[in-house]
Amino acid sequence: MGVIELANTWGHPPEGILEHIFSYLPSYADRASCACVCRQWYFYAREKESTTPLFPCLLRPSISGASCFHLFSRTCTSMPTVPAARFCGSMEGQWFVVARDQWRGYALLHLASGTQILLPQGLLQEDGDRFNFNDLWVGLESTDLIIRAATAFRAPRYPDGDEHYFVAAITLGEHRAAACLSGNGRWALLEPDQGIICPDLDKMLVMYEEMEDVIYYSCSGLDGFFFLTTEEHLMVFLPDDDGEGHITGEVLAYLFRGHTMASPPEAGHVVAARYLVESEGRLLMVKRFVSPCQGQQSTVSFQVFTLMWDNWNRKVPRWEKSSPTSAPLLGKMLFVGRGCSRAIGTGRTGPAFIYFLDDAVASPYELLTTIIRTEKEYRCSDMGWCRYDQQYIGKDWPQGPPADCSPWIWLYR
């Protein structure tokens, strides 16, 4: 068979052969590889995957224009974006929580169409209540809300309709968490340091920890936003609508009594970040470790824990270390980042892989300084993937445009 005949055969296979080939490929990774064979295979793969989750890609916003890096084909494509917007969280269907003017102009953005669902633009305050931002933050008003990471209770389905969406956020500055209802009203502060209900102890508790991540999750009769703290406790906000366009709800605290934070895999390693991700209906906590001795605190390992509940009263939670062969991890790809973590099955029974962004090192103060500065550059060097069972770290992604308006973030289709 000649070269030309072979090329024509690959590009124009006999009728039904592609359907037969793809029927033997339960793995999304295998289908993605086959999509790179030629144009016809690509379009067939797109049609085949139209009703199944596609692998996310890495969105790299920049003032000069956004690009998208596809992890498995290792190709880059240009993407539409909002100039100078900061991306705070992502959801399925190319939906994002963005700050169009860095710390103002919050909205739910559909990247492909440019559709925006406006979010409240300030904090709900009592009369006379003022926030004491340092004089260094020129241009900040007392009602400004500075979001570190945010997520919605689900991706919008009818962006042009009248439906409202609950959104929760980890905030910077004097307060740590807030929530809102899209369309009107104000952001309502969730104040764990003023006392919240602890179902296990049946009393009010004060939580002084910083918030690490937030996710919308439903389990054990709880349907709401789960906030993870630096002490590995959970604050849960159960949102509701008062019927007049304002957000209400209950805030609960779940303390892990007797829980001892796991030691680092090796001496000298420190926890740089903790993420929440749902897999197989389970809520996972992913801990990221860095080595301060390796340049700019490079990521060296991960640990994964599964949220478990007391069998009889569903009030006492515990973190249980996850085996690489456990159901929430086996054959899974975990894409982690604050406000944008997801687990995707590969269709195989192979090892779990963790894909991570460069969002672990900056302290809240450092991040706040970066957001407020006129000239800014977010870190984008400590990102890559980890094979969880071997703790092998890979960082071989190509350099992208300057991260001069937003950290890089996962894009889910």
Question: What are the tens digits of pLDDT across the range 74-96?
Answer: 889 888 888 889 999 999 989 99
Which structure tokens are listed for 109? 């953005």
Residues 71, 21 within the same domain: no
Residues 193, 71 within the same domain: yes
Better-predicted residue by pLDDT, 246 or 311 = 246
Burial of residue 286 (number of CB atoms within 10 Å: 0-12, 13-18, 19+): buried
Residues 310, 177 within the same domain: yes
Residues 296, 363 within the same domain: yes
Residues in the chain: 413
Residues 24, 164 within the same domain: no
The total number of structural domains that make up the chain: 2
Q: pLDDT band at 68, cuts 50/70/90?
A: very high
The rounded mean pLDDT for the chain is 82
Enclosing domain of residue 123 = 53-411
Q: Could you give phi then psi for residue 344, rounded to 5 degrees?
A: -130, 130
Residues 304, 237 within the same domain: yes
Give the separation between CA 55 and CA 60, rounded to whole angstroms.
16
Q: Percent of the chain at pLDDT above 90?
A: 37
Residues 28, 97 within the same domain: no
* Close Cβ partners of 325 (under 8 Å, ≥ 6 residues apart): none
Residues 89, 36 within the same domain: no
Residues 136, 166 within the same domain: yes
Query: Residue range 157-182: average pLDDT?
Result: 82
Residues 12, 130 within the same domain: no
pLDDT over threshold 80, residue 260:
no
Give the separation between CA 163 and CA 165, rounded to whole angstroms.
7
Better-predicted residue by pLDDT, 402 or 26 = 402
Residue type, 178: A
Query: Residue range 230-248: average pLDDT?
Result: 87
Q: How far is CA 366 from CA 102, 133, 371, 373, 388, in A?
A: 15, 15, 9, 11, 30
How does DSSP classify residue 194? G
Q: Which helix (H) or strand (E) holds 43?
A: helix 39-48
Digit-coded pLDDT (tens) for 302-322: 999 999 987 666 678 889 999
Residues 63, 107 within the same domain: yes
> Residue-wise over 128-146: b if at least 16 C-beta within 10 A, else e?
eeeeebeeebeebeeebbb
Please state which of the ranges 43-57, 148-162, 340-354 shows the lowest mean pLDDT: 43-57
Query: Residue range 340-346: average pLDDT?
Result: 93
Residues 32, 61 within the same domain: no
